[in-house]
Amino acid sequence: MGFDMERFVAMGGLGGGHGRHLGIGYRAHGEDWAELALPYDPRLIGDPASGVIASGPIVAMMDMATSVAVWLKRGVFEAHVTLDLRVDYLRPALPERTVIGRGECYRITRSVAFVRGIAHDGDPDDPVAHVAGTFIGMRA
């Protein structure tokens, strides 16, 4: 396979400043999916009354997990841009829990990649968010 996930992670591919500052890390991957983790951090709270983290960091993680899923499915790294990304918040992530983001690329065309994924805080059958989005390849 042309896209080497371990090498990508080792080279800091997830580490572009934002991911590194958020503490986003690699967990697992397959032929068309990747799983990342976002540790709980009180600095990321979006609702002080409940201690629930903001949606921004979850969007960032899901953007990265689904991006990597595209490269895994294509079997090659190809620069692309996010066209759109929708996040449905199914329930709040529990404070103190690490949030796991699993992104999947379920369809690619020459220039468009369609992705979906879930975020959960321990039980994949009880997700906190569902995402759907598209990427556009930058190849001419």
Partner 1 sequence: MSAPRTAIGQAMVLPPYAQWLGCSIDWVEGHPQLVLPFGDHVMGWPGLLQGGAIAGLLEVAGIAALTHRLAQEGGGRIKPVTITTDYLRTGRDQHATHAVGTILRLGQRTANVEAVAWQEDRDRPIATAHLNYRVLRG
Query: Interface residues with partner 1 (CB under 8 A)?
Result: 16-19, 21-22, 42-49, 53-57, 59-64, 81-89, 92
Shortest CB 47 distance to partner 1, Å: 7
Nearer to partner 1, 62 or 105 (CB): 62
Nearer to partner 1, 74 or 134 (CB): 134
**Residue 81 and residue 75 in contact, taking contact as beta carbons nearer than 8 Å:** no
Nearer to partner 1, 15 or 31 (CB): 15
Shortest CB 121 distance to partner 1, Å: 16
The span from the first CA to the last CA of the chain, in angstroms, equals 23
Shortest CB 14 distance to partner 1, Å: 10
**Burial tier of 68 (Cβ tally within 10 Å: 0-12, 13-18, 19+):** buried
